[in-house]
Each structure stands twice: as structure tokens, then as C-alpha cells.
Amino acid sequence: MTAALLSPKCKVPLHVVYAILTVLAIGLSAPRLFMKNQPRTRANTIALGVGAKSLIILQYQLLTEHVARLRKWRSLKAFTILNSLEIVFWAAVVFLIIQANIKICVGTGCILSWIVMAIAIPLSMLAAWAAAICWVEWRAEKAVKRGIVGGGFDSRESEGETLEERRAWPKQRV
């Protein structure tokens, strides 16, 4: 069960859900800035900034993973680090929104901010899942480069691949 959840095959559906939730968080944060009689705080703008950053990071991951010309900039270590930082950034969005809503929360802006906070929580959890997948994949790639077959926690171990096939694996991706 754990191997299936940490399989690299889960990354694309995970990234699709992550992108949808990020766009939703940005879409619900933008109107709060233009509402009259609403206090403008950092909590209103942080979801916009973190969401835009998340979309850029997601774009980097997807393009370097799936476009042949950009594959030379693909780094599973960078993916792991960036996804790990995403956990902290979305948690900060949750914290700042809760802090702002406790001080003052009125009208439609209040409802929108609670919805954005409710979206930021699963975004932080999805980022943790993506970081775990990338970490497992990075460790498996390092083991292959060192010539260690079966040395890492990898879903491909059970498929009976040869050492040569495993070494060629990152280059054969489409």
C-alpha cells in the first residue's frame, strides 16, 4: 500500500489536483482585495503570492519532467526541496488567515478567507505527499547511479528490472 502511494505514477494526478486547488485559492483571494469595507491585511495577499509561487514551481516540475528539451534541468533533489518548502508556505497561509480572522472577520470577505484557509490545508498535505514521492524517487535514482540494485524503497523493484534498465530509466521517460 505504501509503495503504491509513493509511486512516481501518482505524481501527475497529484499535480493536477494541486494545480486546481491552487488556482481556486488564488481565485478566491483576489476578490477579497477589491471588496469595500474590508480590512486589507497580509492574510489577504499571502495566498496570492504563495499561490503564484506554487504554480511556477509546479510548472517547473511538470515541464522538466515531461518535455524532452527541458529534461536537462530536471532535478529530483530540487523537486524534493521545493515541495518541502511548499508545506511550510501553505501552513503559513493557514496560520495568517486564522490569526487575521480571529482579530476581525466581517461579511463576505470573512467567508472567503475561511474557504481559502480550508483549501490551504489540503494543499499543504498534498505538498507533503509530493515531497515524499520525489524523495523516494530521488533516493532510488541515486541508488541506480551508484549501481545498487534493490537498495532503495522503490515500486520498480518488484518488476524484476535489470541494472541496465534501471540506469536508463530517468532518460526514457516521456
Residue 15 lies in a domain: yes
Q: What does the pLDDT read at residue 71?
A: 85
Give pLDDT, residue 125. 95
Does the residue 172 lie in any domain? no
- Per the domain annotation, does 169 fall within a domain? no
The domain in which residue 73 lies consists of 2-135
Number of domains present in the structure of the chain: 1
For residue 15, the model assigns a pLDDT of 92
CA dist., res. 112 & res. 154, Å (int)? 41
> Does residue 78 lie in a domain region?
yes
Give the span between the Cα atoms of 162 and 149, in whole angstroms: 8
Could you read off the pLDDT tens digit of each residue along the chain, which spans 174 residues?
566 677 767 888 999 999 999 999 999 999 888 888 777 778 888 999 999 999 999 999 999 988 889 888 888 899 999 999 999 999 999 999 999 889 888 888 889 999 999 999 999 999 999 999 988 888 888 888 777 665 455 444 444 455 455 555 555 544
Residue 91 lies in a domain: yes
Closest to 138 measured CA to CA, from 154, 159, 119, 157: 154
Q: Is residue 47 part of a domain?
A: yes
pLDDT given at position 107: 84
- Reading phi first (left if > 0) and then psi (alpha if -120 to 50, else beta), residue 115 is in alpha
DSSP string across the chain? -HHHHT-GGGHHHHHHHHHHHHHHHHHHHHHHHT-TT----HHHHHHHHHHHHHHHHHHHHHHHHH-GGGGGG--HHHHHHHHHHHHHHHHHHHHHHHHHHHH---HHHHHHHHHHHHHHHHHHHHHHHHHHHHHHHHHHHHHHHHT-TT-S--GGGGGT--HHHHHHGGGG--
Residue 105 located in a structural domain: yes
- Tell me what pLDDT residue 149 has: 62
